[in-house]
Amino acid sequence: MLNNKRETLNNIKQDFTIKDLENISGIKAHTIRIWEKRYNLLEPQRTNTNIRYYSHKNLQKLLNVVLLSKNNFKISKIAKMTDEEIFENSREVAFKEGLNDEAINAFKLSMLQFDKVLFNETYNRLLEVKSFKDIFKDVFIPFLNYIGLLWQTDTVLPAHEHFISNLISQKIHIKTENLEQQNTTSDKVFVLFLPENEIHELGLLYLNYELVLKGYNTIYLGQNLPLNNLNYFFKHNTKLCFVTSLTVQPYEDKVEDYFKEIEEILQNTHHDFIAIGRKTNLIKHNTYNFNVSFFDTVTDVLKQI
């Protein structure tokens, strides 16, 4: 994780426990303590009750150390470097070998510190060497998977997840808007929406971008759509493919009822339906009277389109 030389990040101070450092860096707390004691790599502070905590500068340094150690630098050699040398070597490694890892580390810190400037700087640097498709596949998807793990370990708050998700969402919207100025090459129309009370939108947003990139016409309806709204589109003779993604909603005991309602709407029509998400495994072996396909991930969908 390179150091952008800010004294504070958006003036937001955040302290980290050693367990936070473990979750964020992927290095076991025991190993971090060894690096700290044997090599003086980190300088924790203590509360009035003698509880250790680490500053964001400690976190930055640790992420840089991890990047170097993953690229054949021995810890004993890293320990002899000044902070500036660690930074310079990390930057060199990032551009030669570990750009994806470095970017993910930068996005980690931008999320934890609510630092949109760092996010945008990192994203723009990636755009210089990668396509948006590759950025999403190689960086954003692993990063979002990582956020899920941090959520499970209570390292991040909903505010962190919402902040970073909105920044990524902005990038998808911009790329999609640029493409939508071009004429579509297909008569088939994809209608994308999320179930009621479902807010996890990034996967569906990205699928919309990919569909537009492939020349399809799309209608993106977004979050929280009641199923009875789908009937409106039957007024047109266009061949439709409805697409939804299930992350949290509907709850597992309601998934079957949800698809029965979809069946009532779409049976006796010529339209298709795509459902994405691991929750579809609960009902994918059922028989339905409409054209429905189930996929675990957006990547799986793109392989078939």
Q: What is the DSSP letter of 232?
A: G
Q: What is the pLDDT of residue 209?
A: 94
Q: What is the DSSP letter of 138?
A: I
Instruction: Tell me which residue range forms the domain holding 214.
Output: 180-304
Residue whose structure tokens are 């700290």:
36
- Give pLDDT < 70 ranges for the chain: 1-14, 94-98, 149, 151-155, 183, 185
Are residues 237 and 169 both part of a single domain?
A: no
DSSP state at residue 139: I
At 192 the pLDDT is 95
Shared domain check, 64 and 169? yes
Same domain, yes or no: 158 and 44:
yes
User: Which of 114, 142, 174 represents a domain boundary (last residue)?
Assistant: 174
* Number of domains comprising the chain: 2
Side chain identity, residue 165: S
pLDDT of residue 160: 87
| Within a domain: 3 | no
109, 121 contact by CB (below 8 A): no
228 with 111, same domain: the answer is no
Question: Is 4 a domain residue?
Answer: no
Its pTM stands at: 0.76
How far does Cα 241 stand from its chain's mean position? 25
Query: Do the domain assignments include residue 10?
Result: no
Of 106, 115, 114, which is closest to residue 63 (Cα–Cα)? 106
Q: Mention every residue, 6+ apart, whose C-beta is less than 8 A from residue 286.
A: 256, 259
Q: Tell whether 24 and 169 lie within a shared domain.
A: yes
User: Do β-strands 291-295 and 272-276 pair in parallel, antiparallel, or remain unpaired?
Assistant: parallel
Q: What is the pLDDT of residue 98?
A: 56
Residue 53, pLDDT score: 87
* Residues 252 and 150 both lie in one domain: no
| pLDDT tens-digit map of 145-168 | 878 767 656 667 788 888 999 999
